Structure 1
């Protein structure tokens, strides 16, 4: 939707509210609702503002100490929020509402480089400087439960009933009981300029997957984040709830965010060698970079304590660093041919911040091209049981340590960005270390 269309809809009283938002480090859309006429008169032209503490919070909205970007010593001032008018969209599930996504800037005019959208933009600008573009698509898995969020909260998220009685991977029968929800989701997302390719049942009880039509990374990142919030709102309106946790139950499969990626130049995929009908040298270099650098950038694929509990053997989530053709036991699955030839990164969970995951993949892959790396021999077999293969990081603590030591991350993202996300990760680790869990009470309350 462009600004002229928005003006027309406001004049016809079809739109009266505009959500002015930006993605925070967790991928939440943070911002404010402004009246439509105020948006046209002021915000669309001059932007608005928000407190800079919004990038230095924990999940409970408590300000965290130790950040240089924003802190009590500096008084927690404001960031400028500048609308990207190319992101204007209707929100069909919110009557009378539209949304625009903003970029964050300092009052001095400089971009807030630590903001997730800025991190991705920096990598895309570097790619564009080489005359290249990235095409990318995400897949999102999630669990659907037969209760609303308020009731789930009151129950401390215990005892929730999945929307299916058994595993429903590719099933069309039991998912039909919730087809009214998924039909609304698919169609309303299309109206919101988030084209959905398909929805399907997944391997877990009550688990589903939605696939998006590929596009440029910034566009896909915006769509990904709006979908997550919109999907929660749509199911809530139907008396249910969903979760994008990477591992919601120890006895269930995890939820992933598989990412499909290719690099193009002058209308052709650089990943495909048409003469040999196989992956090109560029592809092998790019994948070589991903193989080398993904472990130290794993925080951007797996940003929470819970993320690493998804990496379990025979769980459809990878545990080892390897690549193969159409093999779902490895970290990088290669599929397609011709211009559809692409790699699938199976490491990110549904809790990943799409902007950061996309940025990490572009950065790692292009480092492989610059260093003339090679991805090595393709893997054949069951990677889960192969002790020779290197393992993925096993905890957020390990991922934070690897990111801190990463010279590539400091080079391509900048020192301040790396320090910011390392500290973000360590604050989450510290919070978990200080928590007393249900597991501890069950294990120790009576018997110790």
Structure 2
């Protein structure tokens, strides 16, 4: 029977390092793209030195593009400042075993600047913590769950790269949404993922097929906002390592081909000081007054915060007409055509943000949702009427920005972005978007070559 292993206690780590059961400790920070970056330490060195003092890492880790190229425009790190170090401080509450890497434990780290500079403001975990604190000022605690889809291919990452990511073999050859027969052929891999994530302290619930060829979703139990975001990044990194060990590859691109994209629906709820669910109630959509204000805040900030919900060029390709990636910024009770869906029943009523894709940084996306909730609470916003039927057909509905360029324009013009995240974070992530846009604008795509090589 599968059981979820508890977090690894520090004394257990010390004992197992001494006994030789654990010889490697991985410490990682979450970068702007939601990836894990860090070091693998010899177990004894980690226990003797890093546990108490942390470890240095180049501050360029929060000032690079997707290809790890240092790029200009960031205040925290540049050629002018010499690309110095910040300190990675271990967060011992995240310490866990790594079943897919024998003899290995891992934990996440927070980034601290030199001297008395304190936490690095643009670090994703710090951004999320700031929003958690803002919500706590309203005597509320946030909880979240992420539903992360991926495409699985029979080729390894190395083989996929050699093929220039063309003509890859999906793990299934037809739509296997909810199909037990269609997913059985990859159940050995899915089973390994479920069990080894449980061994790492996550709580897997289920695995199912999805619509695109080779598409799957593995769901995990909800938790407090920071825990969910942390576990999301650990899972996303770990599942790629497990797939590679099996000679396969996984992509979390939002739109990897012309068929259905990979989503990351985020379920969101809050509890008051005594632990009571604060979103359910007797109002529209089974929402309380608090739930209505939070929902109105999420809707009011959806477009301005889309840089955190859809952070890449490819993110916006997922918003295809007639798909389950809604662009209409409306809410509906159990309505998947709305950007904000009220899901669940009874005390389990919660809000589902259907805008993010699987390429999202969970710390930033959940931070944006909390910031939207705070905006609705502080301004006592009134919730608009529920959208009935196909919200996409509502031509009066405001829309999610159509491109990253549009999202950047909304972000830079938004007062609520500055209020919620501060000028340093706002400028940092605006620069990140500009870097991606400049790289894309300079690229000559396969589409352009096929379109113009002979015909033009």
TM-score strictly above 0.5: yes
What corresponds to 1:58 in structure 2? 65
Q: Distance in 1 between matches of 2:404 and 2:114?
A: 33
Task: Specify every segment of 5 or more residues in structure 1 that has no aligned partner in the other structure, as ranges.
Answer: none
Partner of 2:3: none
Note the C-alpha offset of 1:418: 0.2
Aligned residue for 1:273, secondary structure, equals coil
The match for 1:120 among 128, 131, 156 is: 128
Listed as ranges, the matches of 1:38-437 within 5 Å are 38-109=45-116, 110-250=118-258, 252-265=259-272, 266-273=274-281, 278-437=286-445
Query: Which residue pairs with 1:3 in the alignment?
Result: 10
Structure 1 residues 10 and 166, CA, compared in 2 at 3 Å: closer, same or farther? same
Indicate conservation of the 8 Å contact 2:285/2:342, yes or no: no
TM-score (norm 1): 0.98
Q: Is the contact between residue 96 and residue 106 of structure 2 (CA under 8 Å) also seen in structure 1?
A: yes
Q: In the TM superposition, what is the alpha-carbon distance from 1:277 to its structure 2 partner?
A: 9.2
Q: 1:404–1:418: 8 Å Cα contact kept in structure 2?
A: yes
Q: Taking structure 2 as the reference length, what is the TM-score of the superposition?
A: 0.96
- Aligned: 1:31 with 2:38: yes
In the aligned structure 2, how far is the partner of 1:130 from the partner of 1:377?
A: 25
Residues 346 and 85 (structure 1), Cα distance of their counterparts in 2 relative to 1, 3 Å cut:
same
1:135 alignment partner, SS class: strand
Task: State whether residues 143 and 222 of structure 2, in contact with CA within 8 Å, keep that contact through their aligned partners in structure 1.
Answer: yes
Q: CA deviation at 1:340?
A: 0.4
Residue 203 of structure 2 contacts residue 221 of structure 2 at CA under 8 Å; is this kept in 1? yes
**Alignment partners' CA distance in 1, 2:415 and 2:105:** 41
Distance in 2 (alpha carbons) for counterparts of 1:167 and 1:318 = 21
Structure 1's consecutive aligned runs of 4 or more residues displaced over 4 angstroms after TM superposition are 274-277
RMSD of the alignment, in Å? 1.2
CA distance in 2, matches of 1:12, 1:166: 49
After superposition, the C-alpha distances for 1:201-248 in whole angstroms (9 at most, x for unaligned) are: 011111001111010111111100000010001111111111000000
2:27 to 20, 23, 46: 20
CA 1:69/1:277 → structure 2, altered by over 3 Å: closer, same or farther? closer
Q: CA deviation at 1:185?
A: 0.2
Displacement of 1:68: 1.0
CA distance in 2, matches of 1:276, 1:248: 37
What's 2:5 paired with?
none
Cα deviation, 1:70-96, whole Å, max 9, x if unaligned, reads 100000000111000000011100111
Q: Please tell me whether the aligned partners of residues 283 and 289 of structure 2 are also in contact (alpha carbons under 8 angstroms).
A: no
1:277 touches 1:338 (CA, 8 Å); kept in 2?
no
**Which string of whole-angstrom CA distances, capped at 9 and with x for unpartnered residues, describes residues 241-295 of structure 1?**
1100000002x10000000011101110111226999210111110000111110
In the alignment, the residues of structure 1 paired with residue 395 and residue 235 of structure 2 have an alpha-carbon distance, to the nearest angstrom, of 38
Q: Deviations over 1:13-68 (max 9, x none)?
A: 11100111101001110011111111111111010010001111111111001111
For the residues of structure 1 that align with 2:270 and 2:205, how far apart are their CA atoms? 21
